Structure 1
Amino acid sequence: MALVYKIFAGIAIFISCLGLYGLVSFMAVQRTKEVGIRKVLGASVSSIVFLFSKEFMILIGISFLIAMPAAWYIMNGWLQNFVYRISMSAWIFLLAIISSLIIAWLTVGYKAVKAALVNPVKSLRSE
């Protein structure tokens, strides 16, 4: 049963990364001219990657703040049904937010670096 849970958790993470990648791709297409102008004015690749990543990291932080109390309450109630009880510790939630941020940063960072390395002349010439 644990193997099935791990497989479905992996599939859920993969699907969420695909959705995040699609959202970043859409955002990159919408902001092509902005990235081109920023590059012409001297923006570095890291500042453009930070521009793309900042919004998603804030959203992940807000969602974690909403989900953490609910998850703690539900898991605490569920764990009370077992004979050998364990307590929920803070490191589990810390590990969850760190892994979520790393996965999201890798997903967003790939597309953001790709958008930042495009020649600004191409992006500004399209209109």
Structure 2
Amino acid sequence: MLMQSATVIMILVSCMGLFGLALFSASRRSKEIGMRKVMGATVAGVSLLISREFLVLVVTAIAIASPLAWFLAKSWLQDFGYRAALDGWVLVEAGAAALVLAVVTVGLQAFRVAKVNPVEVLRED
């Protein structure tokens, strides 16, 4: 029960950090997004533009972390008398879950920013 609670808290903190980073990135690029919308960009296109950079980072992190996690878990489990088999699907599921969480977290923020009226954004100083 304690490990599950700690895991949920870690996931929530990481999602809040990713949400904050997406919010900061979108606010920094608000004029660019406004210009793209004035020039005819769709909400889906702007959302994809914002989400793409975060998804590349998440996929890169998964590609780096998966072999490292495989090696560390395999070497740690080797010391036990009753060995548990380490299947590759566990790492695939963890990577897929991280990717889904990133898509949901960043995608919602990107969609919200893409729906803002470009006239209000471009009028700001």
**TM-score normalised by the shorter chain: which range applies?**
over 0.9
Identity of aligned residues (%): 41
Q: Distance in 1 between matches of 2:81 and 2:35?
A: 63
Instruction: Mark the runs of 5 or more structure 2 residues left unpaired by the alignment.
Output: none
Q: Give the aligned partner of residue 51 of structure 1.
A: 49
Q: Give the aligned partner of residue 93 of structure 2.
A: 95
Equivalent residues, number: 125
Instruction: Mark the runs of 5 or more structure 1 residues left unpaired by the alignment.
Output: none
Q: Give the aligned partner of residue 81 of structure 2.
A: 83
Q: Distance in 1 between matches of 2:11 and 2:83?
A: 28
Give the SS at the match of 1:71: helix
Q: Distance in 2 between matches of 1:52 and 1:88?
A: 36
Q: Distance in 1 between matches of 2:48 and 2:81?
A: 48
Task: Give runs of ≥4 in structure 1 deviating > 4 Å.
Answer: none
Q: Distance in 1 between matches of 2:73 and 2:3?
A: 16
Give deviations 1:20-68, integer Å, cap 9, x for gaps.
1111111111011111111111111111111111111111111111111
Q: Give the aligned partner of residue 124 of structure 1.
A: 122
Q: Distance in 1 between matches of 2:74 and 2:2?
A: 23
For residues 1-127 of structure 1, the aligned pairs below 5 Å read 3-127=1-125
Q: Distance in 2 between matches of 1:53 and 1:99?
A: 16
Give deviations 1:103-126, integer Å, cap 9, x for gaps.
011110111111000001001111
Give deviations 1:68-114, integer Å, cap 9, x for gaps.
11111111122223333222222111111111011011110111111
Q: Return the TM-score normalized by structure 2.
A: 0.94
Instruction: Name the amino acid aligned to 2:113.
Output: A
Q: Return the TM-score normalized by structure 1.
A: 0.93
Q: Distance in 2 between matches of 1:73 and 1:91?
A: 15
Output the aligned Cα RMSD.
1.1
